[in-house]
């Protein structure tokens, strides 16, 4: 409600500090609240609650310049000076459209067009742009709306009359009490009110000595709580008088509280963000979750999960006086541990790790409905105050918008980085002494040069880093960016060899230097990426981009980590995008690599490390992050020779047989001794131009790890062989 009223207020009686300026112009932060500024592209901004809110162009809107009182009207593509008041009325739209002699910015009012309906309104106010009449964005209420409001008011009045009648009847049966605004009451044998009733008939259950009352100001006996927001609506003094919520009801140490359905105060939040138990267990459940040997203790408070431990193996939690006691395995034995409830951040979290995500549409996840809509850990897996992303990621972000942090969850689409961040906490994969903040600055259909330094998306990521650092400084928490999560490359799939690799290297270098200037952190800021696997849907059979994505991780360890390919994920009908379930699976693939990255350990996906030819036999040796290399033609269909091919300058040989051995090697048999130059073996590097990506139609290989990565939700993922071309040596 408050946000809606603020939005309306921003659009009424707009005045501008100056005439139209470019939209990128820096605006003063010390302007008066409610100040506005109009931009040359027709948009405008209003300073509200110390934040410049930017709004799209609204045809017909007017603004007055503060100094010289010049009046402007919005014509959609810009702002037109109103040189004179020029407003005409027309019976029909056709008559108005025939009148094209007035200056731009003139107003026209259609009054009685016979085609006007409530569903398709025609009557109303229009603005002449100089080329056409355009109906204004804001219109007065039409008669149907007014009539509907009248009906609603009458029904409300009838309802209130019924309440009055019931109240009158009730008054005859209830003793009159001196109870402030509640003159009637149902009382017990001791004459203590049980239910208070206003003259209007409104009743409220009154109980005595509620748990958590010690959190109230001492002048008050108990209070009514808004179950949605936790705000105190009304308090009852010891003499029976009532005080509305505009007065200070809580003890000055507390900002607001949570209560159960009976009004019992469960927790109060102090002004510094710390939660304090309200003297009762209330709706608090504790439990252990995680994979065997890596369980952690959690509390479920007011319907939200809080993580209390992050190391070792913990179980058997119990609540006692605002503390959770549990058992944990340590040094080969079992010890007793405890953790306090209600801290702003997880009790073990001593530092903040910021995960900055960017890329194209697969990074955004807009092609799948948001499914991770509930927070994974409200005190550990966090996001900026506006969420992981803005609705329009091209909207400029200000550092002041970032804090205080909010629980991370999916709101628009299902971005892989959400699941990755959740898994890091839920499966004890994140650093044991840290909480994470995740922000997403991706945009669909963008090339790497449209996302790198100098673009709004890159700038927004740095503004978010600045805001997160400021919030952590205010909280006394050390801060650093852990890595850049990067899912991108489809727009660049037709680029020449070497272009993507060079641009990627520059992007990583820019992020490292720019983030260090903000956070003060030392060392590299690595990029965690995966390989594109759907380039065939863009009308090409091969692409250098996935090859260079893997090679960056091989050649530049510490700067790049590659999670793996995506051809094992099923695509939507467009052959490019994936649904929510597949996006979540991609997030888990990233989480496995992110765990190693954050621990400072090496990580490489399944890929070929060498290829040696002896006669007509070629031996490929593979690296696998888990288990051994195996063939799988069920999850990924065989495109021929398990997705392997011989390459040389004259195509002088072809593969006739493929054998996957038990020692992470693959033996290829060629039809003849090759004679061409530059011999290579291609692995999942060739597809059919125009085909959809995915496990049955895209460029793919039927090679994976024998052992999957498993997760506490019961899911698992295998690590499939990367798109690759490996040079062949001859012995």
pLDDT for res 145: 47
Domain-embedded: residue 15: yes
Q: How many CB atoms lie within 10 A of CB 623?
A: 15
Q: How many CB atoms lie within 10 A of CB 491?
A: 20
Domain-embedded: residue 120: yes
179 contact partners, CB below 8 Å, separation of at least 6: 185, 193, 196, 240, 241, 242
Please report which residue ranges of 487-579 form alpha helices under DSSP H. Answer: 499-519, 544-555
Mean pLDDT for the chain? 84
450 contact partners, CB below 8 Å, separation of at least 6: 443, 457, 491
For the stretch 459-486, pLDDT in tens is 999 999 999 999 999 999 999 999 999 9
d(CA 413, CA 336): 42
Residues 382 and 503 in one domain: yes
- Could you list the residue range(s) of the whole structural domain that residue 460 is in? 351-599
Residues 501 and 573 in one domain: yes
Give the DSSP H or E segment for 582: helix 580-598
What pTM was estimated for this model as a whole?
A: 0.64
Residues in the chain: 731
Q: How many CB atoms lie within 10 A of CB 49?
A: 9
pLDDT for res 188: 55
Domain-embedded: residue 453: yes
Residues 102 and 203 in one domain: no
Pick from 198-212, 605-619, 665-679: least confident: 198-212
- Residue 626 DSSP SS3: coil
The encoded tokens of residue 365 equal 């996840």
Residue 5 pLDDT exceeds 80: no
Q: Which residue has the higher pLDDT, 216 or 414?
A: 414
pLDDT for res 53: 86
As a dihedral over the C-alpha atoms of residue 374, residue 569, residue 357, residue 421, rounded to 10 degrees, the angle is: 40
Confidence of residue 35 (pLDDT cuts 50, 70, 90): confident
Residues 380 and 461 in one domain: yes
Burial class (CB in 10 A: 0-12, 13-18, 19+), 612: middle
Pick from 192-196, 301-305, 487-491, 550-554: least confident: 192-196
Confidence of residue 106 (pLDDT cuts 50, 70, 90): confident
Q: Which residue has the higher pLDDT, 29 or 634?
A: 634
For the stretch 364-405, pLDDT in tens is 998 878 889 889 999 999 999 999 999 888 899 999 999 999
Residue 12 pLDDT exceeds 60: no
Residues 659 and 525 in one domain: no
Residues 383 and 498 in one domain: yes
CA distances from 125 to 90, 106, 114, 132, 141 (A): 10, 10, 16, 13, 12
d(CA 141, CA 8): 15
Residues 327 and 411 in one domain: no
d(CA 729, CA 268): 69
Give the DSSP H or E segment for 407: strand 406-407
For the stretch 146-160, pLDDT in tens is 444 455 555 545 544
Q: How many CB atoms lie within 10 A of CB 158?
A: 10
pLDDT for res 231: 61
Residue 697 pLDDT exceeds 50: yes
Domain-embedded: residue 229: no
Residues 69 and 201 in one domain: no
Pair 213, 249: CB distance under 8 Å: no
d(CA 34, CA 506): 42
Residue 205 pLDDT exceeds 80: no
Q: Which residue has the higher pLDDT, 301 or 216?
A: 301
Pick from 48-62, 175-189, 212-226, 465-479: least confident: 175-189
Residues 74 and 111 in one domain: no
Instruction: Among 566, 599, 632, give the residue marking a domain's end.
Output: 599
Residue 144 pLDDT exceeds 50: no
Count how many Cα atoms sit within 13 Å of the Cα of residue 278 in the half-sphere of its side chain: 29
As a dihedral over the C-alpha atoms of residue 13, residue 18, residue 23, residue 24, rounded to 10 degrees, the angle is: -130
d(CA 82, CA 104): 8
Residue 558 pLDDT exceeds 80: yes
Domain-embedded: residue 430: yes
The encoded tokens of residue 51 equal 């934040």
Q: Which residues pair with 717 in a beta bridge?
A: 709
d(CA 348, CA 336): 16
> In the chain, pLDDT over 70 holds for what percent of residues?
77
Instruction: Give mean pLDDT, residues 420-435.
Output: 95
d(CA 416, CA 714): 18
The CATH number linked to 534 is: 3.40.50.1110
Domain count, the chain: 6
499 contact partners, CB below 8 Å, separation of at least 6: 492, 544
Burial class (CB in 10 A: 0-12, 13-18, 19+), 408: buried
Question: Tell me, what DSSP letter sits at residue 58?
Answer: -
Residue 24 pLDDT exceeds 80: yes
Residues 436 and 563 in one domain: yes
Nearest to 568 by CA among 539, 544, 588: 588
The encoded tokens of residue 690 equal 């125009």
Asked if the bond preceding 404 is cis, omega within 30° of 0, the reply is: yes
Domain-embedded: residue 707: yes
Pair 437, 405: CB distance under 8 Å: yes
Domain-embedded: residue 346: no
Residue 511 pLDDT exceeds 70: yes
d(CA 692, CA 602): 33
The encoded tokens of residue 352 equal 């903040």
d(CA 311, CA 428): 7
pLDDT for res 282: 46
Instruction: Among 567, 599, 631, give the residue marking a domain's end.
Output: 599
Give the DSSP H or E segment for 363: helix 361-364
- Residue 431 DSSP SS3: coil
Residue 219 pLDDT exceeds 60: no
546 contact partners, CB below 8 Å, separation of at least 6: 489, 531, 532, 533, 535, 565, 685, 722, 723
89: phi > 0 → left, psi -120 to 50 → alpha, else beta; which? beta
For the stretch 486-502, pLDDT in tens is 999 999 999 999 999 99
Strands 527-529 and 560-562: parallel
d(CA 266, CA 283): 7
Pair 399, 467: CB distance under 8 Å: yes
Domain-embedded: residue 236: no
d(CA 116, CA 135): 13
Residues 595 and 654 in one domain: no
For the stretch 399-414, pLDDT in tens is 999 999 999 999 888 9
Pair 462, 456: CB distance under 8 Å: no
d(CA 395, CA 244): 40
As a three-state string, the secondary structure of 143-167 is HHHHHHHHHHHHHHHHHHHHHHHHH
Instruction: Give mean pLDDT, residues 186-203.
Output: 55
Pair 285, 300: CB distance under 8 Å: yes
CA 547 to chain CA centroid, Å, is 30
For tokens 């379930």, what's the residue? 581
Instruction: Among 340, 366, 381, give the residue marking a domain's end.
Output: 340
Task: Give me the phi and psi of 554, to 5 degrees please.
Answer: -70, -45
Q: How many CB atoms lie within 10 A of CB 486?
A: 30
420 contact partners, CB below 8 Å, separation of at least 6: 355, 485, 587, 588, 590, 591, 594
Residues 474 and 452 in one domain: yes
Nearest to 47 by CA among 63, 66, 30, 64: 30
pLDDT for res 213: 46
Residue 356 pLDDT exceeds 70: yes
For the stretch 525-548, pLDDT in tens is 999 999 999 999 999 999 999 999
pLDDT for res 162: 46
Residue 611 pLDDT exceeds 70: yes
- Residue 178 DSSP SS3: coil
> In the chain, pLDDT over 90 holds for what percent of residues?
54
For the stretch 325-354, pLDDT in tens is 999 988 778 999 999 887 889 999 999 999
The encoded tokens of residue 712 equal 């506490």
d(CA 84, CA 17): 21
């Amino acid at each position: 409600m408050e946000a809606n009223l603020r939005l309306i207020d921003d659009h009424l009686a707009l005045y501008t500090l100056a005439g139209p300026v470019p939209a990128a112009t820096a605006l003063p932060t010390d302007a008066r609240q409610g100040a506005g500024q109009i931009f040359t592209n027709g948009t405008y901004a209003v300073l509200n609650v110390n934040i410049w809110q930017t709004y799209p162009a609204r045809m017909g809107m007017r603004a007055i310049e503060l100094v010289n009182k010049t009046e402007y009207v919005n014509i959609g593509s810009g702002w037109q000076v109103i040189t004179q008041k020029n407003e005409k009325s027309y019976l029909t739209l056709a008559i108005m459209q025939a009148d094209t002699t007035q200056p731009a910015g003139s107003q026209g009012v259609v009054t009685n067009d016979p085609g006007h309906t409530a569903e398709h309104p025609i009557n109303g106010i229009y603005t002449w742009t100089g080329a056409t009449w355009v109906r204004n964005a804001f219109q007065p209420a039409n008669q149907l709306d007014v009539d509907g409001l009248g009906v609603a008011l009458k029904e409300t009045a009838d309802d209130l009359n019924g309440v009055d009648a019931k109240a009158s009847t009730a008054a005859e049966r209830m003793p009159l009490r001196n109870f402030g605004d509640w003159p009637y009451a149902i009382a017990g044998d001791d004459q203590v009110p049980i239910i208070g009733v206003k003259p209007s008939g409104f009743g409220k259950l009154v109980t005595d000595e509620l748990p958590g009352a010690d959190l109230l100001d001492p002048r008050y006996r108990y209070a009514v709580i808004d179950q949605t927001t936790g705000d105190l609506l009304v308090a009852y003094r010891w003499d029976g008088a009532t005080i509305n919520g505009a007065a200070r009801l809580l003890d000055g140490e507390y900002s607001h509280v949570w209560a159960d359905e009976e009004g019992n105060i469960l927790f109060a939040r102090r002004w510094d963000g710390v939660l304090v138990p309200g003297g009762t267990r209330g709706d608090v459940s504790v439990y252990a979750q995680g994979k065997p040997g890596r369980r952690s203790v959690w509390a479920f408070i007011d319907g939200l999960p809080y993580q209390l431990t992050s190391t070792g193996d913990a179980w058997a939690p119990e609540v006692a006086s605002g503390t959770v006691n549990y058992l944990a395995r340590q040094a080969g034995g079992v010890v007793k541990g405890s953790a306090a409830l209600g801290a702003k951040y997880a009790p073990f979290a001593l530092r903040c790790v910021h995960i900055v995500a960017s890329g194209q549409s697969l990074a955004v996840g807009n092609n799948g409905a948001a499914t991770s809509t509930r927070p994974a850990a409200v005190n550990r897996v966090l996001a900026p105050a506006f969420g992981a992303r803005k609705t329009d990621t091209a909207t400029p972000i200000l550092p002041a918008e970032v804090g205080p942090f909010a629980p991370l969850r999916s709101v628009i689409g299902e971005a892989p980085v959400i699941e990755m961040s959740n898994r890091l906490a839920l499966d004890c994969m994140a650093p044991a002494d840290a909480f994470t903040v995740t922000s997403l600055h991706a945009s669909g259909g963008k090339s790497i040069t449209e996302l790198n330094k100098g673009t709004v998306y890159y700038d927004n990521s740095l503004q978010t880093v600045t805001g997160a650092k400021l919030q952590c400084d205010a909280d006394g928490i050390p801060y650093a960016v852990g890595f850049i999560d990067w899912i991108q490359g489809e727009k660049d799939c037709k680029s020449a060899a070497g272009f993507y690799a060079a641009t990627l290297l520059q992007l990583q270098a820019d992020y490292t230097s720019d983030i260090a200037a903000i956070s003060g952190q030392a060392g590299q800021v690595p990029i965690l990426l995966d390989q594109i696997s759907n380039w065939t849907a863009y009308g090409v059979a091969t692409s250098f981009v996935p090859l260079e994505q893997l090679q960056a991780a091989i050649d530049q360890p510490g700067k790049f980590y590659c999670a793996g390919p995506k051809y094992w994920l099923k695509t939507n009908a467009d052959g490019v995008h994936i649904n929510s379930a597949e996006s979540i699976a991609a997030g888990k693939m990233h989480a496995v690599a992110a765990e190693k990255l954050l621990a400072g350990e090496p990580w490489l996906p399944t890929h070929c490390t060498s290829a040696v030819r002896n006669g007509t036999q070629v031996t490929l040796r593979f690296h696998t992050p888990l288990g051994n290399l195996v063939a799988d033609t069920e999850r990924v269909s065989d495109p021929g020779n398990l997705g392997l091919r011989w390459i040389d300058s004259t195509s002088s040989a072809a593969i006739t047989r493929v054998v996957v051995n038990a020692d992470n090697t693959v033996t290829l048999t060629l039809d003849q001794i090759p004679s061409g130059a530059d011999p290579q073996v291609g692995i999942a590097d060739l597809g059919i131009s125009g085909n959809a990506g995915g496990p049955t139609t895209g460029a793919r290989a039927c090679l994976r790890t024998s052992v999957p990565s498993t997760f506490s939700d019961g899911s698992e993922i295998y690590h499939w062989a990367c798109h690759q071309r490996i040079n062949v040596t001859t012995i």
